Structure 1
Amino acid sequence: MSTVQIFSRLIKLVFPLTVYMICAILMGVAGFLCAIFIPVLSSMALVSLLGYQTLLSVHIIIILLFVCALLRGILRYAEQACNHYIAFKLLARIRDQVFGALRKLCPAKLEVKDKGSLISLITSDIELLEVFYAHTISPICIAFITSLVCVSIQVQFGWIYGLYSLFAYIVVGVVLPVLISKQSRQIGVEYRKEAANLNSYVLESMRGLKESMQYMDTNRRLEGLNKQTSSLAKREKKLKYFQAKTISLTNFCVVLLSLGLCLIHLYLNSSMDSMIVSSVLQISSFGPVIALANLGSTLSQTIGAGQRVISLLDETPMVEEVNNGKETDFKMVDVSSVDFAYEEEQILKDMNLSIQENEVIGIQGKSGSGKSTLLKLLMRFWDVSKGNILVDDLNIQSLNTSNLRKNEGYVTQETILFHDTIENNIRVAKENASEEEIQSACKKANIHEYIQSLPNGYKTMVEELGSSLSGGERQRIGLARMFLHDAKLVLLDEPTSNLDSLNEGVILKSIYEERKDKTIIFVSHRESTLSHCDRIIHMESERVS
């Protein structure tokens, strides 16, 4: 994606806030003109003291100097307030769009997506766009308008001075930023990638810290961390080099171009008062275009961040949600000649399975045989590569997503808990559930007594428990969600893997008691878990036998 395409996509988001942008530009122009006229008025006072005739008296000039100084502060504050209001409003909107995109992409692509890179994108990459919205769009407009005003004033001294000023502004405000941006863009993109890689590595190292310590692998992880940090530091050093190069080159051009205007005045034998005022105007008016010149290097990271954000927003979901499809009661499920592969890795091939209403099916098989994948296909987290999954003779791809989620309950080995109360963590499964319903579900999952023993009971915050929640307790909260959801098709992926035999027995009893109006599919290696199933299916690599 080209820089122009990235900028055009980002600018489109500003349209709803056009009024604020216009206010920022107008106040920015007025503020810079006040700043420019402070030295210009001072030069006019000097010229007047030297005996030359000026349009304004010294007393009027002094009053105007105070007015310009006061307005400069007020207008600068107002301009920045408008720019940052626009920036933070748009960052909130972009975050909303990013999370909306993630919701559509989830869970198919997110299961294989680099978590650290994703965290970097939704945090630092989006924050970097603040540079674009607060310090790029309005400064460009401000520099353009302010330069035109200054050129029109220089024309009053002579058309050649106005033409030269226009040339100087184009060199500093257009030519230099474009040249620097072209040279540094690739480094900015690479820097964002390196930062994402480092985030991924740190996140992975934190999650696996216990394992690293157990197997004395910390030195290797530390070496990897140092290597990643060193690589990122090299990228940052190059970026800093370009920033220093930009500042040095810009200041050199400003001095050189200002000196050039003085030489033109001397060559054309201009009067001393005209030369002084015109030269001071030229030197003091470079502020807006210098701000643009400095953007050349800082925007390189912004371009990289914008490219990553836009790429995520443009990703096509592997599974499209259905809103105007069909509805069904989820009585029978038929898996017919199904193939499925993760990219190039074949997981299921020509798989056939018929599941009758209120049937309890157990699934066994070696790791990698596709047991969990089958459940995810039934949940339609992915679409099959070939074949069909039919629910009551309707293709699962034609069913409304809301109907699918309502009638299917899915319990995995790993239960994710949110930073909220235990009650609200369970209520995720049914938003309007009463306290009685939640407690009933927890009793079936054999977690009610444990929750009651906590100081705040169901109102206990999960983060207050910290690591004191065992894997079994987390899994029982996940099972409580399943009982509360009360779906007709229940998919259980190793639901008792973290439980002892006593808890397993209580929970299995609760599950089997509800079999009269549910269809249940167990994936488990435990014979005790599958002992009451109507039939057990053994999955080998790539097929059902």
Structure 2
Amino acid sequence: MKQNKDNQNKKQRSGFAVMCGLIGMIKPLLGIMCLAILMGCAGNLMATFLTILGGYALLTVTGVYSGMRLSVIFTLLVCFAVARGILRYAEQASNHYIAFKLLARIRHQVFDSLRRLAPAKLDGAKKGNLISIITSDIELLEVFYAHTISPIAIAVITSVVMTIFLGRIHPVFGVLALFFYVLVGAVIPVVNGRIGAAGGKEYREAFGALNTCVLDNLYGLEETLQYGQQEARIAKMAEQTGHLETVNGALKRGENLQRVITDGVILFAGVLAALVGGTLAENGSIPGSGAVIAVIALASSFGPTAALSALSNNLNHTLASGNRVLDILEEKPLVEEVTGKEETCGQNIHCDHVSFAYANTQESGEEDGRDVLRDFTADFTEKRIHGILGKSGCGKSTLLKLLMRFYEPDEGVIAYDGTKIGEINTAALRGGISYVTQETFLFHDTVAENLKVAKEDATEEELERAARAASIHDLIMSLPDGYETKIAELGSSLSGGERQRLGIARAFLHDADILFLDEPTSNIDSLNEGMILRSLKEECADKTILMVSHRKSTMGIADDVLEM
């Protein structure tokens, strides 16, 4: 089966499905969420009844109503006002506590998922898009957890309470209230959400594409200047920015239209309630004071439902972000990690009729794969240096990735000391191999910490020995702070050859029984190449080494050479 190299298996989820997926993460904090909802309901009802009590006070002063003394009304007003402020603060504090706890948890899950997907599913991934998911998309979920779930529950509960309250004045008011609560809090947001869903998704995708474009421009700055492509790169970024602004403009126009519609519906509800109340009072069905209170109660109770209507404006962005995060969390790795099996990795490597092809899924859905290895058979015996020589694209690097089990072969068998690679614990397999890639990645940290990636508890003596073996010690000592010198981001303060030598020093420090070297000296001058190869010959006499290169000079220390 061909390997799919797509970094995300994008699913077309409905907004409801995305919300269910995000809500499912709340389970550990469900108690706090329920408390926040109760406090929000109490606070919103008190805010509504502040206006209702004001109406009662006015009717009492004018002598129309005598059901409560004015002193009682004013006491309730003060109590409700104070309690409303406390409850509002407590509700928001609880919601934000839930949001920040969940965002931290989601970040951990996303990074764990990326670890499982790497490297096969992330090979060729758009880094700007991944950065957008890890940063802004997850950050947007704060809106969902802090300002979406509670408001929905609060709107439903307060609407039920107010419908009962208004229905007790007269059933017509109850029916009227329920109709407009559903219209404002459900129908308008759902319709607006469906209209804007595609725009929200397009905005998040465009945002990720712009991030990728900016990263390309930053990392490729030297090439851009060298070949005079400044205008072309600026035009490309301007195009991405323009597209993002166009999509955002359409979303903003939709938000403004919805806001006008919502305000218009609430105003119409108030006018209709006044007409109904006047008619009922004139017919003697309810007293005039009841009609006034019903109109005030209905007009002042749209806060929670109107919040839902406004919420759908941001919800398009939030659900699009949630969908992208769920894609990462639910994505299945091409190579599942093996646990509970063989704990050791032997040094004799056997490849039997191995075939492999990368596959890129096109927009049409068809797979366009290119065979990299076909019916490859070879044995690499222990404690020897095996050279693999061949031109670019012949599958040398891919073979090492298969031996590391970054990918699974389409056909054939790979075995270590007779044990199939899929029957060896993944951690034991990779822990028993030092793998030096063509491009050494350096973290924005000190030289020492970059070397300690290979061995966390390495001593100064071990660091120096590994650096000397890689012919990089003298250079390190010439730096301002030696091994404590901080390396610039992405290792840009060092040349390609210096970065490569640090990668080789890591391999010496890791001191595994098997050493894979992918073009280990491609960026290194002949003098340093000779020193490093001599160190490999001397330091690694008891190791199994597979050395991949297109340069015949690198093969000078090999015990045998396989041409591909």
Same fold, judged at TM 0.5 (above): yes
Give 1:158's match in structure 2, choosing from 170, 192, 198. Answer: 170
The alignment yields a C-alpha RMSD, in angstroms, of 1.6
TM-score by length of 2: 0.92
Contact 1:246–1:296 under 8 Å retained in 2: no
1:524 paired with 2:524, answer no
1:292-312 CA deviation, whole Å, 9 max, x = no partner? 111223211112111111112
Structure 1 residues 464 and 191: CA distance shift in structure 2, 3 A:
closer
Residue 181 of structure 2 aligns to which amino acid in structure 1?
Y
Contact 1:331–1:357 under 8 Å retained in 2: yes
Quick one: distance in 2 between partners of 1:8 and 1:118? 23
Partner of 1:429: 454
Quick one: distance in 1 between partners of 2:436 and 2:181? 64
1:90 paired with 2:102, answer yes
Residue 533 of structure 1 aligns to which amino acid in structure 2?
A
Residue 312 of structure 2 aligns to which amino acid in structure 1?
G
Partner of 1:248: 260
**Shift in Å at residue 464 of structure 1?**
8.8
Q: Secondary structure of the residue that 2:121 maps to in structure 1?
A: coil
Q: Secondary structure of the residue that 2:122 maps to in structure 1?
A: coil
Quick one: distance in 1 between partners of 2:71 and 2:171? 31
What is the 5 A alignment of 1:118-197?
118-197=130-209
- Alignment length (residue pairs): 539
**Shift in Å at residue 465 of structure 1?**
11
Structure 1 residues 73 and 210: CA distance shift in structure 2, 3 A:
same
Contact 1:333–1:391 under 8 Å retained in 2: yes
Partner of 2:279: 267
Quick one: distance in 2 between partners of 1:87 and 1:339? 48
Partner of 2:47: 35
Quick one: distance in 2 between partners of 1:385 and 1:103? 23
Partner of 1:202: 214
1:22 paired with 2:34, answer yes
What is the 5 A alignment of 1:268-347?
268-269=280-281, 270-343=286-359, 344-347=369-372
Q: Secondary structure of the residue that 2:379 maps to in structure 1?
A: strand
Return 290-299 or 135-144, whichever deviates more: 290-299
What is the 5 A alignment of 1:376-387?
376-387=401-412
Give 1:354's match in structure 2, choosing from 379, 382, 391. Answer: 379
Residue 313 of structure 1 aligns to which amino acid in structure 2?
L
1:402-423 CA deviation, whole Å, 9 max, x = no partner? 1111211110121111222221
1:392 paired with 2:417, answer yes
**Shift in Å at residue 25 of structure 1?**
0.6
Quick one: distance in 2 between partners of 1:466 and 1:387? 39
Quick one: distance in 1 between partners of 2:344 and 2:175? 75
Give 2:506's match in structure 1, choosing from 481, 491, 494. Answer: 481
Quick one: distance in 2 between partners of 1:73 and 1:450? 64
TM-score by length of 1: 0.96
Residue 378 of structure 2 aligns to which amino acid in structure 1?
L
Contact 1:488–1:519 under 8 Å retained in 2: yes
1:216 paired with 2:232, answer no
Residue 539 of structure 2 aligns to which amino acid in structure 1?
E
**Shift in Å at residue 466 of structure 1?**
6.7
Partner of 1:81: 93
**Shift in Å at residue 328 of structure 1?**
3.5
Partner of 1:106: 118
Quick one: distance in 2 between partners of 1:87 and 1:278? 37
Structure 1 residues 465 and 171: CA distance shift in structure 2, 3 A:
closer
Partner of 1:543: none
1:276-325 CA deviation, whole Å, 9 max, x = no partner? 22111111110000011112232111121111111121211111111112
Structure 1 residues not aligned, in runs of 5+? 540-545
Contact 1:328–1:392 under 8 Å retained in 2: no
Quick one: distance in 2 between partners of 1:234 and 1:329? 55
**Shift in Å at residue 76 of structure 1?**
1.3
Contact 1:191–1:232 under 8 Å retained in 2: yes
Residue 199 of structure 2 aligns to which amino acid in structure 1?
I
Contact 2:454–2:510 under 8 Å retained in 1: yes
Contact 1:35–1:68 under 8 Å retained in 2: yes
Quick one: distance in 1 between partners of 2:120 and 2:139? 27
Residue 109 of structure 1 aligns to which amino acid in structure 2?
K
Quick one: distance in 2 between partners of 1:469 and 1:157? 79
Q: Secondary structure of the residue that 1:517 maps to in structure 2?
A: coil
Quick one: distance in 1 between partners of 2:223 and 2:85? 57
Quick one: distance in 1 between partners of 2:151 and 2:101? 18
Contact 1:334–1:389 under 8 Å retained in 2: yes
Q: Secondary structure of the residue that 1:462 maps to in structure 2?
A: coil
**Shift in Å at residue 72 of structure 1?**
2.1
Return 266-275 or 22-31, whichever deviates more: 266-275
Contact 2:477–2:483 under 8 Å retained in 1: yes
Quick one: distance in 2 between partners of 1:465 and 1:152? 64
Partner of 1:115: 127
Q: Secondary structure of the residue that 2:561 maps to in structure 1?
A: strand
1:447 paired with 2:472, answer yes
Residue 201 of structure 2 aligns to which amino acid in structure 1?
V
Partner of 1:401: 426
Quick one: distance in 1 between partners of 2:373 and 2:179? 67
Contact 2:389–2:552 under 8 Å retained in 1: no
1:102-147 CA deviation, whole Å, 9 max, x = no partner? 1111001111222111111111111111111111111011111111
Quick one: distance in 2 between partners of 1:501 and 1:304? 53
Return 381-390 or 455-464, whichever deviates more: 455-464
**Shift in Å at residue 327 of structure 1?**
3.3
Quick one: distance in 2 between partners of 1:82 and 1:419? 37
**Shift in Å at residue 515 of structure 1?**
3.3
Quick one: distance in 1 between partners of 2:489 and 2:232? 33
Partner of 2:4: none
Structure 2 residues not aligned, in runs of 5+? 1-12, 360-368
1:492-538 CA deviation, whole Å, 9 max, x = no partner? 11111222222222211111113321111111233332112112222
Return 370-379 or 465-474, whichever deviates more: 465-474
Quick one: distance in 2 between partners of 1:55 and 1:477? 86
What is the 5 A alignment of 1:451-470?
451-463=476-488, 467-470=492-495
Q: Secondary structure of the residue that 2:119 maps to in structure 1?
A: coil
Post-superposition, which runs of at least 4 consecutive aligned residues in structure 1 deviate over 6 A? none
Q: Secondary structure of the residue that 1:341 maps to in structure 2?
A: strand
Quick one: distance in 2 between partners of 1:95 and 1:186? 25
Partner of 1:542: none
Contact 1:155–1:162 under 8 Å retained in 2: yes
Contact 1:328–1:391 under 8 Å retained in 2: no
Residue 477 of structure 2 aligns to which amino acid in structure 1?
Q
Partner of 2:443: 418
Q: Secondary structure of the residue that 1:257 maps to in structure 2?
A: helix
Q: Secondary structure of the residue that 1:498 maps to in structure 2?
A: coil
Quick one: distance in 2 between partners of 1:291 and 1:311? 29
Give 1:5's match in structure 2, choosing from 11, 17, 27. Answer: 17
Partner of 1:534: 559
What is the 5 A alignment of 1:56-71?
56-71=68-83
Q: Secondary structure of the residue that 1:496 maps to in structure 2?
A: coil
Residue 307 of structure 1 aligns to which amino acid in structure 2?
N
Quick one: distance in 2 between partners of 1:53 and 1:385? 85
